[in-house]
Amino acid sequence: MHLHKIFYALDILKKAINLLFPYMIFSVIYVMLQHVGNSVHDLYPWNSLLYIYKMPIGYLWFLYILFLIFVLVGFFNLLHVNMYLQGGIYLLLFFISQFVNFPYFLAQTFTWTICFYMGYLINNIKIENKGKKILLIAFIVIFFIGIVQQYFAGGNWYRTNLLTKSNFLTKLTSIPLILYLFSRLPQNKLFKYFEKYGKYSLIIYLVHAPSTSIIRVILIKLGISNYFLLVFLITVITWYVCLFVCLLAKKFTIFNFLFSPYKYLNFLQRSIYR
């Protein structure tokens, strides 16, 4: 058990460095670019950087909550809790979070852990082909039941950025459905083109939002105002900016350190084992 605790601590340390270091750096970059561009709807004040330990800035909430999910799931794994029981616990925590006013870090962690663990269950549960077909049909039926339920619930039912009790069915069932559709995509050149950038997903995620903000400002100042043209140009240019940063991270240590700092901190590992 003692050895498991050491491995758990080392794993959490690695994830903390690789997720929270970029989280802090890009919080500064994102706010800075917002103020330079000065053309955004939700402008974060400079002093918001003082509170990123409890309230993430913009899209960076994902890294913040992902780290906490790793801590939570890792803790239950450390206790050797059965994966089915874990799934039940995370499902219960989700529903509790919908009715109890938790602090942000707990509310969001309890909300999103079930989605994270859904992917883990799909990857680790072995089901026969006949069972897979039955499950697929069940997920499709539940997904459309969820769509109908959201529609008749009224309000802005089509806004699904958040995970709530009203869109829970569609969100959760969309995970296995999308994974299934992805596994059936033709392995053509387009597929392989995007597949090879999967290992750079963290870099692309971190770079895309600040790039989009500044590119949008530049294009508007150049007189491009057509909505559809703006969306197309922003998407294409942002993608290539992300690829350029991926190339920089591959070629230069200083950029690679920014996105994968743990592997450059070998002294931490050596000091633990001395």
CA distance 208 to 29: 12
Number of domains in the chain: 1
**pLDDT surpassing 80 at residue 205:** yes
Residue 273 has pLDDT above 50, yes or no: no
Q: How far apart are the first and last CA of the chain?
A: 20
| Structure token digits, residue 157 | 């039912």
Q: What percent of the chain has pLDDT over 90?
A: 51
Whether 48 is covered by a domain: the verdict is: no
Instruction: Report yes or no on 164 lying in a domain.
Output: yes
Distance CA 213, CA 44 (A): 13
The pTM of this model reads 0.87
Is the distance from CB of 259 to CB of 200 less than 8 angstroms?
no
Two tokens at 101? 């006013």
- Taking the C-alpha atoms of residue 154 and residue 240, their distance in angstroms, rounded to an integer, is 40
Q: Does residue 171 belong to any structural domain of this protein? A: yes
Task: Give the Å distances, CA to CA, from 41 to 37, 203, 213.
Answer: 11, 25, 11
Residue 161 has pLDDT above 60, yes or no: yes
Q: What is the mean pLDDT of residues 190-197?
A: 88
pLDDT at 38: 59
Count CB atoms within 10 A of the CB of residue 206.
24
Angle between helices 104-124 and 61-78 (to 10 degrees): 60
Q: Cβ(25)–Cβ(203) under 8 Å?
A: no
Q: Would you say residue 163 lies in a domain?
A: yes
Token pair, residue 11, equals 């794993």
Nearest-10 Cα torsion for 143, 148, 153, 156:
80
CB-neighbour burial class of residue 111 (10 A; exposed 0-12, middle 13-18, buried 19+)? buried
> For 163-186, what is the mean pLDDT?
88
pLDDT surpassing 80 at residue 204 = yes
160 found inside a domain: yes
pLDDT reported for residue 133: 86
The conformational region for residue 155 under phi > 0 = left, psi -120 to 50 = alpha, else beta, is: left
28 three-state secondary structure? helix
Highest mean pLDDT among 38-47, 67-76, 147-156, 216-225: 67-76
Asked, for residue 42, whether it belongs to a domain, the answer is no
Amino acid (1-letter code) at residue 111: T
Full domain range(s) for residue 165 = 127-184
Flag whether 131 is in a domain: yes
